[in-house]
Structure 1
Amino acid sequence: MAAVEDCPRNYREATESKDKDKWIKAINVEFEAHARNGTWIKVPRREGIKTIRTKWVFAKKRNERGEIIRWKARLVALGFLQHFGVDFFETYAAVANMSSIRIFLSVCCTAGFVMEQLDVDTAYLNADLEEDVYIEIPEGLNEDSKCVLKLKKALYGLKQAGNAWFKTIQRLLVETGFKPCGGDTCVFVKRVRNEFIYICLYVDDMVVAARTSELVDDVKRAIASRFRIKELGYVRHLLGMEIAYDQKARTMTVTQTQYIKTIVDRFNQQGARNVTNPCDQSLKLSKADAPQTVDEKEEMSKKPYRSLIGCIQYVAQCTRPDVTYAVTHLSRFMENPGKKHWAAAIKILRYLKATSEKGINYSNLGELHTPVAFCDADWGTNLDDRRSVSGMVMMMNGGPVVYKSKYQATVALSSTEAEYLALSMCAQEVAWVRGLLNDLGINLEKPTQVWEDNQGAIALAHNQGYHARTKHVDIRHHYIRESINNKIIKLDYHAY
């Protein structure tokens, strides 16, 4: 979630601010966690020891109503001072894909599952550190300056910390009988007799879902036996998303109303005029709209364009497919944005402000767990290099579970070619979704319906003969044909 809070930037600001009592308490809580977990041991400073510094990071954790529920202080190692092959090796750490999270919520909602959320307290500090890493005495800790601290646990900020934690929590879940899904290793499945239990993991936040509270409680007890956890109750607020789940009716609405309000306030758009669409179709933007004069460059240097795009992009990725195309377009100008780019980004924010209560809805109406995909392309709209945009959305259980807007890697020479490349991307997403659903115990016997509005692209996908006009299309894009032959997808025409 993009950071939008006004919090202290360092230890001094925190301990001298008007909220210093709250921040000092949070700092002490953090030190207590380190002592409890045995994060470090004190050793004499000696020649040859390479140390890295630390810093304090402060944050306010809020609930779905925007109320502060926790003042957080984190001691973070400056990992950029580490050296590969000396004090770190592996760095990759898996996190749940946002599409996986939506599929997880959609499946659990329409199954009427109990969904409870929990948080592992100071998660990284539960992971053992294999390498020798030393840190300087952090601010706020009264220790002899002739000593340094040797880390025993994966302190936040270390390059390998996320990797160490994921291995630790994955090991526990596997020991408990869970299996990671092939489509997303942060989604776990366990079968108990004829019942399924699911876990969706995002770093230290997790949602446990099953048909009964007893099954969920069993999982919570297993995790609590190894880690200190916070039980957050029924899932209501996840990664900045508000989740309104009616278990009895088997319906769910996922929004980001509070997050949108926060970024509207941050970028001073509280009293701005609302707009009814996220972008003006007649507006053609390019890199030629970058600042040209010294005055324009100075003016734009004061505009937090990257921060604004990052914030609205997070909304697009989570709950708002309707702004995905517009955000994708504006993300091209991060390096050197101009006035027109800024105005277009502000328009998206004003649109989100006017529609902040809109989101994604899931229900058990219609055919359950049966994805249907819609595919399209915007041919040659990139004025700088004439690349086209592939777009797709996959609906399941009444709402979108996967949606993408992505510039194509090559220049399409016709609208048919652009649509064909978009179909290839769509087919790959369909295969992934079907695989993930299969991991969750949902076997799709029929091909997934894909709708496309270009007859030429459909004919090209169905006909494997030689086509002189499309002989240059990279072979990897013909994956769509294989998907049709293997009955993974069923491709038909639909006018949009």
Structure 2
Amino acid sequence: MHITMDVVFHEDSMYFSSESELQGEYHKEIQTLDYDYHISEEDESGQSELVNQETGELDMSGQQFGSEDVFTEIPNQSSSVEGVLSLEPDPFMKRLPHHHNKGCMVLEKQCQKVCKLKKSLYGLKQSLRAWFGRFTKSMRAFGYCQITGNDPKERKALQNYLSREFEMKNLGPLKYFLGIEVSRSSERIFLSQRKHVLDLLWETGMLGCQPVNTPIEEGLKLCVEPNQVSTDKGRYQRLVGRLMYLAHTRLDIVYALSVVSQYMHNPGEQHMNVVMHILRYLKNAPGNGILFTKNVDHQSIEVYTDADWAGAVDDRRSTSDYFTFVGGNLMTWTSKKQNVVTRSSVEAEFRGMTFGLCEALWLRLLLQDLGYLSRQPIRLFCDNKAGCDIAHNPVQHDRTKHVEVDRFFIKEKLDDKIVELPKIRSKD
């Protein structure tokens, strides 16, 4: 493992800069050799939205904190404190001479030796996982199990505890986190990524472009053409990646992104043109986002599903779409190509119903974790009558044997009164 740092030679000694921030070259770490696991907990799509929705619904206040020493709080394995997740195995680094600066003195003859890190560094792949473990154990030691609360004394006690455990800053009321802007009134909470959109338009030179009214042209079918004009693959992947993060607050570009993301490995000029079209659409209203309003029934869950049967030109797979509402507020949304080729529109719709129901069940469990046990059945809307009939009908049909698992999954939830299937027309 190699670590970059600032040093200066002076006579027979070498000085390491005490002010420079050591950064690990994480791309040189090898899994199973330098580390075992590096995957850490992340904010799933829908978690922060649901917390914000319940915060506004119950008139709670959002408080924001920042830690200045996130990764350097994590010790190595041999120097770890009991009950605190450490870096395993112990990380080592080579000394690499760079710029002139002042700092602690190390003899030049010791340059052939390696350094054993006492704590983590920014850039190590396992740092995020170890930090989450460190923070989780501290919170559990405090006895904190819920992530929301409206007791000022409890919030103050938590703030004092975190300040003792870490170098924490109180950033005041929640206004900006992870690139998402938060605006709040007594009745509403609004999330947007306006700055992210404007930065993206400025970096791509699209601030002065002519805006369009749709994120993708109606009826457009993309494919990999035999003699297609190539484009900058790295630039294409970066743009699509940044647009995907923008989809956290922009439902309107999700389908267009599901189309262009299928060609990350071999993009052509026609695919890049669609990405530019999305940017021109964003120029039309960069401040759009999600609005959460108060509702009487803030625990009701509704799911709307649909499918584009055999819509992909390259492999004729279908695309499933669903979006969920909790308490009348839009919560999660997805547009994703299905894993298998479906032989009928009924099968495509039925698989889409299964995906949407799984998402709704996850939201139901998340509400329970927040302390709200919803006893109302989930309302699952699908405009395909045959798909709803299959879900209700326990008789096995020859044409639906290949979707037996999905059929019994939905039927079980219907029998348990966890979900219901209201009728809805396609135009609604």
| TM-score with structure 1 setting the length | 0.76
Note closer, same or farther for the CA distance 1:272–1:84 as it changes in structure 2 (3 Å cut). closer
Partner-residue secondary structure (3-state), 1:473:
helix
- Provide the rounded CA distance (Å) in 2 between the counterparts of 1:122 and 1:91: 19
Matched with 1:263 is 200
Note closer, same or farther for the CA distance 1:405–1:218 as it changes in structure 2 (3 Å cut). same
- CA offset at residue 399 of structure 1? 2.5
Matched with 1:231 is 170
Instruction: Output one character per residue of 1:428-482: Cα deviation in whole Å (capped at 9) or x when no partner.
Output: 1111110110111101111111111100110011112111211122524542222
| TM-score with structure 2 setting the length | 0.87
The answer to whether residue 383 in structure 2 is matched with residue 453 in structure 1 is yes
Matched with 1:158 is 124
The answer to whether residue 358 in structure 2 is matched with residue 428 in structure 1 is yes
- Provide the rounded CA distance (Å) in 1 between the counterparts of 2:204 and 2:299: 40
Matched with 2:4 is 54
Partner-residue secondary structure (3-state), 2:403:
coil
Note closer, same or farther for the CA distance 1:469–1:261 as it changes in structure 2 (3 Å cut). same
Matched with 1:272 is 209
- Provide the rounded CA distance (Å) in 2 between the counterparts of 1:153 and 1:97: 28
Instruction: Output one character per residue of 1:142-197: Cα deviation in whole Å (capped at 9) or x when no partner.
Output: 55342442101121222321121111100001111123xxxxxxxxx1xxxxxxxx
In the alignment, is the contact (CA less than 8 A) between 1:176 and 1:222 conserved in 2? yes
- CA offset at residue 211 of structure 1? 1.5
Of 116, 123, 141 in structure 2, the residue corresponding to residue 175 of structure 1 is 141
Matched with 2:152 is 213
Of 12, 35, 47 in structure 2, the residue corresponding to residue 88 of structure 1 is 35
- CA offset at residue 87 of structure 1? 3.5
Of 293, 299, 302 in structure 2, the residue corresponding to residue 363 of structure 1 is 293
Matched with 1:61 is none
In the alignment, is the contact (CA less than 8 A) between 1:454 and 1:493 conserved in 2? no
Unaligned runs of 5+ in 2: 7-19, 78-88
In the alignment, is the contact (CA less than 8 A) between 1:110 and 1:363 conserved in 2? yes
Note closer, same or farther for the CA distance 1:321–1:90 as it changes in structure 2 (3 Å cut). same
Of 219, 222, 240 in structure 2, the residue corresponding to residue 282 of structure 1 is 219
Partner-residue secondary structure (3-state), 1:232:
strand
Matched with 1:379 is 309
In the alignment, is the contact (CA less than 8 A) between 2:64 and 2:172 conserved in 1? yes
In the alignment, is the contact (CA less than 8 A) between 1:251 and 1:363 conserved in 2? yes
Note closer, same or farther for the CA distance 1:349–1:55 as it changes in structure 2 (3 Å cut). farther
Note closer, same or farther for the CA distance 1:277–1:88 as it changes in structure 2 (3 Å cut). same
In the alignment, is the contact (CA less than 8 A) between 2:233 and 2:264 conserved in 1? no
- Provide the rounded CA distance (Å) in 2 between the counterparts of 1:342 and 1:335: 13
Matched with 2:240 is 309
Matched with 1:59 is none
Partner-residue secondary structure (3-state), 1:405:
strand
* Seq. identity, %: 27
Partner-residue secondary structure (3-state), 2:372:
coil
Note closer, same or farther for the CA distance 1:291–1:173 as it changes in structure 2 (3 Å cut). farther
Note closer, same or farther for the CA distance 1:327–1:218 as it changes in structure 2 (3 Å cut). same
- Provide the rounded CA distance (Å) in 2 between the counterparts of 1:93 and 1:158: 13
Matched with 2:13 is none
The answer to whether residue 54 in structure 2 is matched with residue 107 in structure 1 is yes
In the alignment, is the contact (CA less than 8 A) between 2:304 and 2:323 conserved in 1? yes
Give the paired residue count: 395
Matched with 2:75 is 128
Q: Which moved more, 1:416-425 or 1:277-286?
A: 277-286
In the alignment, is the contact (CA less than 8 A) between 1:274 and 1:353 conserved in 2? yes
Instruction: Output one character per residue of 1:40-98: Cα deviation in whole Å (capped at 9) or x when no partner.
Output: xxxxxxxxxxx523379xxxxxxxxxxxxxxxx85321233334444322322111212
The answer to whether residue 243 in structure 2 is matched with residue 243 in structure 1 is no
Partner amino acid, structure 2, of 1:279: I
Matched with 1:4 is none
Partner-residue secondary structure (3-state), 1:471:
helix
In the alignment, is the contact (CA less than 8 A) between 1:55 and 1:76 conserved in 2? yes
Superposed CA RMSD:
2.1
Query: Mapping of 1:53-72 within 5 angstroms?
Result: 53-54=3-4
Partner-residue secondary structure (3-state), 1:210:
coil
The answer to whether residue 409 in structure 2 is matched with residue 479 in structure 1 is yes
- If each structure's strand is expressed as a fraction of its own residues, which one has the higher value? 1
Partner amino acid, structure 2, of 1:222: Y
- CA offset at residue 336 of structure 1? 1.4
Partner-residue secondary structure (3-state), 1:304:
helix
Partner amino acid, structure 1, of 2:65: L
In the alignment, is the contact (CA less than 8 A) between 2:300 and 2:376 conserved in 1? no
Matched with 1:388 is 318
In the alignment, is the contact (CA less than 8 A) between 1:370 and 1:448 conserved in 2? yes
In the alignment, is the contact (CA less than 8 A) between 2:360 and 2:378 conserved in 1? yes
Partner amino acid, structure 2, of 1:162: L
Partner amino acid, structure 1, of 2:421: L
- Provide the rounded CA distance (Å) in 2 between the counterparts of 1:477 and 1:387: 20
Partner amino acid, structure 2, of 1:126: E
Partner-residue secondary structure (3-state), 1:254:
strand
Note closer, same or farther for the CA distance 1:377–1:85 as it changes in structure 2 (3 Å cut). closer
